[in-house]
């Protein structure tokens, strides 16, 4: 919970990690990829305020104490969702698995939610694993990383035929929150790996599932926004938007927030700090304090306290069925509706 100027904010961080990228965990012969991956993340941390930067050794592997302090004691986070990224081709025990997340979550059952994952290229074995994980961890969500390398394949898309049984399974098991994270490779390599049209199609086919597009589809925000106006079950995951832009590129941040509020709407935007790339503290405090820098942004929807409360936690609490203390809820009234009607007016005209 974060309190500022007499307002109380319930904070739900929908995108967090507990990873091990230390050299001991690098797969022999794949060191360049394992090291490149974590160095790349570390560079992203450089986009946050200087006083929040970590040395690479700590960044490769941080402790449970670091996590608890940065998230709960100082970071204002009430509840966080672990998003796994396995990368077993590069990391012996995986980079950040559901299993390792669950070990931590067991100790903080009211504060941490564990998401699973699946990879359609694993076929029947993958389906069985998803079944088992769902039962063991009580999954309500999965994180899909489409750029993961596997046995010579550099990725997949949600519209692959092999993915259908997995989405059917999610529906059957009540795994309703599908977090999609695009990366730089897919099969075939000549296509745009960041394209989100596969999410569009799948969201239409599975209206009971929620599709949270992580990093708001960056670097394809425009495709994401156009899609989100069409699909009621598509949400914007703000990880990287806040961490990567609010401090480093404040005017770009204002534009992106303005566009998201216009096209996607405040009811479908979800805070995510993307720890340990960025600590939540400065992001939560900065977002609560944030407003457009000047009146050249006056065409965009206002950044109200109600909008910030929804974005910081209330929207995600609904998706994950998290009970919000009475004093942190909004008064019983409909908030400002999303700009869906406005957005539809400009559909199909660019």
Partner 1 sequence: MTIHSRVLEALGTVYDPELDEPITSLRFVTSCDVSAEGDVDVRLRLPTPQCAPNFAYLMAADARDAVRRLPEVRDVTVLLEDHYTGDEINAAVGRGAGFAQAFPGETEGELDALRELFRRKALVARQSRVCEALLAAGATPEEITARRVSDLPDEPESRRCIELREQLGIPGDGDAPAFVRPDGEPVAAADLRHWLRRASLMRTSLEVNGGICRSLLRIRYDLPDPKEVAA
Q: Which residues bind partner 1 (CB under 8 A)?
A: 32-33, 36-37, 39-40, 43-44, 46-47, 154, 183-185, 187-194, 218-222, 225-226, 244-245, 248-249, 251-252, 254-256, 259, 263, 345-346, 349-350
CB of 264 vs partner 1, minimal distance in Å: 11
Closer Cβ to partner 1, 199 or 218, answer by number: 218
Q: How far is the CB of 97 from partner 1 (least distance, A)?
A: 20
Q: Would you say 44 or 72 has its CB closer to partner 1? A: 44
Q: Which is nearer to partner 1, 69 or 154 (CB)?
A: 154
- Residue 256 or 312: which CB sits closer to partner 1? 256
**What's the closest the beta carbon of residue 200 comes to partner 1, in angstroms?**
16
Quote the crossing angle between the two packed helices 123-137 and 98-105, to the nearest 10°.
0
CB of 64 to partner 1, least distance (A): 28
Of the two residues 101 and 223, which places its CB atom closer to partner 1 in the complex?
223
- Rounded least distance, CB 40 to partner 1, Å: 5
> Of 39 and 205, which CB lies nearer to partner 1 in the complex structure?
39
Residue pair 90/138 in contact (Cβ under 8 Å)? The answer is no
CB of 298 to partner 1, least distance (A): 14
Task: Specify the residue, 49 or 165, whose C-beta has the smaller distance to partner 1.
Answer: 49
CB of 291 to partner 1, least distance (A): 15
Shortest approach of partner 1 to residue 224 CB, angstroms? 9
Choose between 131 and 222: whose C-beta lies nearer to partner 1. Answer: 222
Rounded to whole angstroms, the Cα distance separating 347 from 33 reads 41
Question: What SS3 string covers the chain?
Answer: CEEECCEEECCEEEEECCCECCHHHECCCCHHHHHHHHHHHHHHHCCCCHHHCCCHHHHHECCHHHHHHHHHHCCCCCEEEECCECCCCCECCCCECHHHHHHHHCCCCCCEEECECCCHHHHHHHHHHHHHHHHHHCCCEEEEECCCCECCECCCCCCCHHHHHHHHHHHHHCCCEEEEECCCCCCCCCCCCCCCHHHHHHHHHCCCCEEEEHHHHCCCHHHHHHHHHHCCCEEEECCCHHHHHHCCCHHHHHHHHHHHHHHCCHHHEECCCCECCCCHHHHHHHHHHCCCCCHHHCCCCCCCHHHHHHHHHHHHHHHHCCCCCHHHCCCCCCCCCCCHHHHHHCCCCC
């Amino acid at each position: 919970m974060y309190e500022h100027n007499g307002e109380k904010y319930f904070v739900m961080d929908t995108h967090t990690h507990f990873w091990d990228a230390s050299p001991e965990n690098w797969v022999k012969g794949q060191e360049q990829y394992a090291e490149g991956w974590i160095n790349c993340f570390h560079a992203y941390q450089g986009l946050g305020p200087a006083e929040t930067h970590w040395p690479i050794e700590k960044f490769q592997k941080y402790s449970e104490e670091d996590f608890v302090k940065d998230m709960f004691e100082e970071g204002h986070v009430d509840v966080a969702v672990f998003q796994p990224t396995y990368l077993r081709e590069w990391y012996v025990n995986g980079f950040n698995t559901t299993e390792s997340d669950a070990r931590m979550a067991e100790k903080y059952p009211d504060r941490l939610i564990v998401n699973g994952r699946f990879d359609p290229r694993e076929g029947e074995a993958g389906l069985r694993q998803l079944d088992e994980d769902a039962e063991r961890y009580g999954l309500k969500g999965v994180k899909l990383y489409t750029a993961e390398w596997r046995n010579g394949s550099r990725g997949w898309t949600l519209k692959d035929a092999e993915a259908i049984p997995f989405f059917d399974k999610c529906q059957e098991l009540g795994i309703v929150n599908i977090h999609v994270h695009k990366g730089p490779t897919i099969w075939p390599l000549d296509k745009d790996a960041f394209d989100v049209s596969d999410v569009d199609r799948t969201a239409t086919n599975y209206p009971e599932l929620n599709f949270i597009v992580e990093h708001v589809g960056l670097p394809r925000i425009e495709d994401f926004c156009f899609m989100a106006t069409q699909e009621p079950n598509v949400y914007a995951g703000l990880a990287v938007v806040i961490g990567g832009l609010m401090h480093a590129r404040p005017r770009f941040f204002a534009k992106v927030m303005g566009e998201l509020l216009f096209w996607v709407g405040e009811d479908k935007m979800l805070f995510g700090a993307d720890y340990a790339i960025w600590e939540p503290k400065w992001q939560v405090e900065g977002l609560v304090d944030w407003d457009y820098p000047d009146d050249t942004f006056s065409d965009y929807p206002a950044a109200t306290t109600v909008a910030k409360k929804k974005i910081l936690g209330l929207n995600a609490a609904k998706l994950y069925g998290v009970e919000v203390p009475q004093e942190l809820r909004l008064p019983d009234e409909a908030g400002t509706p999303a700009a869906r009607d406005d957005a539809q007016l400009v559909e199909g005209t660019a």
